[in-house]
């Protein structure tokens, strides 16, 4: 008799389940900024810094729990902003918003600067000043496999500058626009989520500030003798005059102004000697009118290129609705001899918020 044995073979199959980093459709990294206080007849006006309160805790989710993981923000190949059209001002880099993203279509250019940070109250914000950089928001290289980063992002602040004169008043809407991307990595996994501005607006209103009550400033230089000029580069006939800005709104208090001088008779002219072309009857090129500050230091003359000129000079700070600056005008000999001639020149001063 044989005993029969029933053998039961149990095959245990095991497998390791891997998570997959992916964009979280329930928490898109969309932020809204409502920006105000742009003045229509000023260029390079910095709008009040807009604090953006939204925070997305898991813009990317599903990543493995790993000892090593990181989150970065980058603009490179992930933005709709014009990276080729940017500039730095006061420690911030401003990137142009394409006109096609602004409604109504603007006659000016709009630029934006912004900061990012991980979704944490304890880490600092990072201003995105390099479009080619990858900004590390979070990094974990040691610890338990259960340590998981937030995979979140905040957009703490947005700054906007506009350039142009006589811009149309009104509210402008920025269509959804990509600022960059949040990129998360863990155990070789990588996922990204676009970071956008959505439903964002800015408002342009008229300024109440007026230069010299809206009237031209006439400066009469004294009559001098041709023999008073002894060499090229000789200046004489100093005449003081003042430019006053008044009627400013209370919201303009403590705002600083910068100025740009342009030669009306030679609008493309640039020089650092403050020289205005003589347009008098005889039109002698041997003599010019020089504009200086109250300390006789020449002021730069430059074309009215608000978005690219480096020739602005400090005008002053508005207090009590007004601000004034003293200047001097005088003759300047470009070459000898200086003939007996009628000397006349004309300039435009453009004042904008710094």
Supply the pLDDT for residue 150: 56
Supply the pLDDT for residue 65: 63
Supply the pLDDT for residue 343: 94
CA atoms within 13 A on the CB side of 99: 7
Average pLDDT over residues 126-150: 76
Place of tokens 């300039």: 347
Tell me: pLDDT of 145 over 70.
no
Dihedral over alpha carbons 277, 278, 283, 287 (to 10 degrees): -100
Using CA atoms, how far apart are residues 350 and 258, in angstroms rounded to an integer?
8
Tell me: pLDDT of 204 over 50.
yes
Average pLDDT over residues 272-288: 91
Looking at the chain, which residues constitute the CATH 2.60.40.1090 domain(s)?
A: 210-353
Tell me: pLDDT of 12 over 50.
no
**For domain 22-205, which architecture applies?**
Sandwich (2.60)
Averaged pLDDT of the chain: 83
* pLDDT band, residue 186 (cuts 50/70/90): confident
Tell me: pLDDT of 199 over 70.
yes
Average pLDDT over residues 240-253: 89
CA distances, 266 to each of 238, 261, 287, 300 (Å): 23, 12, 15, 14
In the CATH scheme, what is the homologous superfamily, with its name and number, of domain 210-353? Answer: Fimbrial-type adhesion domain (2.60.40.1090)
Dihedral over alpha carbons 162, 164, 166, 167 (to 10 degrees): -40
Q: Using one digit for the tens of pLDDT, what is the confidence trace for 38-69?
A: 555 455 555 555 677 677 888 888 776 655 68
In terms of Cβ atoms closer than 10 Å to its own Cβ (0-12, 13-18, 19+), residue 29 is buried
Using CA atoms, how far apart are residues 72 and 66, in angstroms rounded to an integer?
17
Could you give phi then psi for residue 168, rounded to 5 degrees?
-65, 135
Tell me: pLDDT of 122 over 50.
yes
Supply the pLDDT for residue 60: 84
CA distances, 74 to each of 80, 130, 178, 245 (Å): 12, 9, 11, 43
- Name which residue leads in pLDDT, 168 or 64: 168
Model pTM score: 0.64
* 3-state SS record for the chain: CCCCCCCCCCCCCCCCCCCCCEECCCCCEEECCEEEEEECCCCCEECCCEECCCEECCCEECCCCCCCEEEEEECCCCCCCEEEEEEEECCEEEEEECHHHEECCCCCEEEEEEEEECCCCCCCCEECCCCCCEEEEEEECCCCCCCCCCCCEECCEEEEEEECCCCCCEEEEECCEEEEEEEEEECCEEEEEEEEECCEEEEEECCCCEEHHHCCCCCCCCCCCHHHCCCCCCEEEEEEEEEEEECCCHHHCCCEEEEEEEECCCCCCCECCCEECCCCCCCCCCEEEEEEECCCCECCECCCCCCCCCCCEEEEECECCEEEEEEEEEEEECCCCCCCCCCCCCEEEEEEEC
């Amino acid at each position: 008799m044989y005993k029969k044995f029933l053998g039961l073979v149990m095959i245990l199959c095991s497998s390791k389940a891997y998570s997959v980093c992916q964009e979280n459709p329930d928490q898109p990294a969309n932020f809204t900024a409502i920006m105000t206080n742009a003045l229509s007849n000023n260029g390079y006006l910095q709008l009040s810094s807009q604090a953006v309160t939204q925070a997305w805790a898991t813009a990317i989710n599903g990543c493995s729990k790993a000892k090593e993981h990181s989150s970065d923000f980058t603009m490179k190949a992930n933005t709709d902003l014009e990276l080729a059209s940017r500039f730095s001002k006061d420690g911030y880099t401003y990137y142009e918003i394409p006109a096609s993203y602004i409604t109504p279509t603007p006659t000016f250019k709009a630029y934006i600067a912004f900061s990012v940070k991980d979704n944490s109250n304890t880490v600092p914000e990072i201003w995105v000043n390099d479009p080619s950089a990858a900004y590390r928001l979070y990094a974990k290289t040691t610890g338990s496999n259960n340590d998981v980063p937030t995979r979140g992002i905040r957009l703490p602040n947005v700054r906007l500058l506009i350039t142009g004169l006589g811009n149309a008043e009104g509210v402008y809407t920025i269509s959804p626009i990509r600022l960059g991307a949040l990129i998360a990595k863990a155990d070789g996994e990588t996922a990204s989520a676009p970071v956008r501005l959505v439903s964002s607006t800015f408002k342009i209103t008229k300024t109440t500030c007026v230069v010299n009550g809206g009237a031209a400033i006439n400066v009469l230089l004294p009559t001098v003798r041709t023999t008073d000029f002894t060499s090229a580069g000789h200046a004489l006939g100093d005449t003081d005059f003042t430019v006053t800005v008044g009627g400013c709104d209370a919201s303009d208090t403590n705002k600083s102004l910068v100025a740009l001088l342009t030669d009306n008779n030679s609008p493309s002219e640039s020089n650092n000697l403050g020289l205005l072309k003589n347009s008098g009857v005889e039109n002698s090129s041997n003599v010019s009118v020089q504009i200086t500050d109250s300390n006789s230091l020449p002021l730069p003359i430059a074309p009215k290129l608000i978005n690219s000129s480096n020739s602005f000079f400090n005008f002053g700070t508005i207090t009590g609705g007004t601000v004034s600056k003293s200047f001097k005008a005088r003759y300047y000999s470009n070459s000898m001899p200086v003939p007996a001639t009628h000397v006349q020149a004309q300039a435009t001063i453009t004042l904008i918020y710094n």
